Amino acid sequence: MKVLHITNAYPIESNPSFGVFVKEQVDGLRRLGIQSDLYFINAREEGLARYASCIPDLQRLGRHCDLVHCHHLFSSISYILSGVPAPFIAATFGDIRQAHPIERLCLYIVERFARRVIYKNDTQFDSPKYVYVPNGVDATVFRRSDRDDAITRLGLDPSTRYVLFVAGGGVDNPVKRYDKFLTVLDQMEAHGDRYTPLVMANVDREHVPDYYNASRFLLMTSDHEGSPNAVKEAMASNLPVVSTDVGNVRTMTADYDGGFVSSTGDSNDLARLAQEADSCVPNNGPAVLESLQLEAAASCRRLIQVYEQVLDENSERNRTTCAF
């Protein structure tokens, strides 16, 4: 099986965390024997016109694969416009229930051409075309380790209590709500609990596990998410998670000893849960991830099943067409 991955999110020098989940998923598929080529539409640095200028490349590459996996709806639109007949699946990012109107229009178009649409949160869809396959986390990379060692490697103060904020491209992303994060810490300080923000943004992947192990807990204040990898990485590290009720966070943390999900999402409730989280010492994070098939290898195996289903259906279509 040869799969062409088309993505508009992939690590770049200025942002090594950008689309790292796509890179790690493709790497995981390769380890499981799936021949995977990758084409990166770098519209972030080269501009929106890249979605059109890439079409000749997609026409050339798409004719030499069995299946195309488009990561993000915009990548899917470029592939549809290429006119290549290879079957494709489209993977959404984030919570499609909160999609921008332009993304909703893209989804309307994509679902008419794609053989499957991969979504990452636990939204319920009537159509069998939609398949729930969240990205997985590598539990051999993310695991609990000595806090003092992590503090030392990051050059932090061992006497300070750090709270982790995972910002991806930076704290300016309004969806992540860094303002609410700071408000929660202010409210906790007003009750005598002082914490310092530890912001993880544009960090080389090799240093990421230390951020989890150096922190007291992860505080996620996002307005919406899909299936946030930060929560899975925290669980693999047995770090308590305090979060707004976004994406599939409640589902992922339901059986986790260190999961604290706010029903209201307001800063007062998050501050209350954060105080509980700080005294929590979870130890079942990896087991919960395994039971939910949210380890990297399990997620990739599920994705391979989707690939195989699509290729089997395509073969049947071709046989039926030939019969007539």
Q: What is the count of structural domains for the chain?
A: 2
Beta bridge partners of 131: 118
Asked if 58 and 79 touch (Cβ cutoff 8 Å), the reply is yes
Helices then strands, counting H and E runs in the chain, come out as 14, 11
Q: Is the pLDDT of residue 99 over 90?
A: no
Bigger pLDDT: 324 vs 109: 109
Cα separations in angstroms, 83 against 36, 92, 113, 163: 21, 21, 11, 48
- For residue 9, pLDDT beyond 70: yes
Residue with tokens 């503090």: 151
Q: Which secondary structure element, helix H or strand E, spans residue 250, and what is its range?
A: helix 249-253
Q: Give residue 100's pLDDT.
A: 77
45 falls within a domain: yes
Over range 125-153, report the average pLDDT. 92
Mean pLDDT of the residues in the chain: 93
Assess if residue 142 is contained within a domain: no
With respect to residue 141, please indicate whether it lies within any of the assigned structural domains.
Answer: no
Measured over all CA atoms, what is the biggest interatomic distance in the chain, rounded to whole angstroms? 77
* Same domain as 222, residue 93: no
What CATH number should be reported for the domain holding residue 175?
3.40.50.2000
- What distances in angstroms separate CA 200 from CA 25, 146, 230, one per listed residue? 21, 19, 10
Residues 123 and 171 in one domain: no
List pLDDT tens digits, range 156-196.
999 999 999 999 778 888 899 999 999 999 999 998 889 99
Structural domain for 123, as ranges: 2-136+295-323
CB-CB contact of 74 with 93 (8 Å): no
Cα–Cα distance, 30 to 41 (Å, whole number): 21
302 and 276 fall within a common domain? no
Residues 8 and 33 in one domain: yes
pTM: 0.91
DSSP character string of 184-205: HHHHHHHTT---EEEEEES--G
Q: Residue 320: which pLDDT band, with cuts at 50, 70 and 90? A: low
- Tell whether 299 and 233 lie within a shared domain: no
Q: How confident is the model over 240-266, as a mean pLDDT?
A: 96
pLDDT digits (tens, 9 = 90+) for 214-241: 999 999 999 989 899 999 999 999 999 9
Same-domain pairing of 301 and 285: no
Domain assignment present for 213: yes
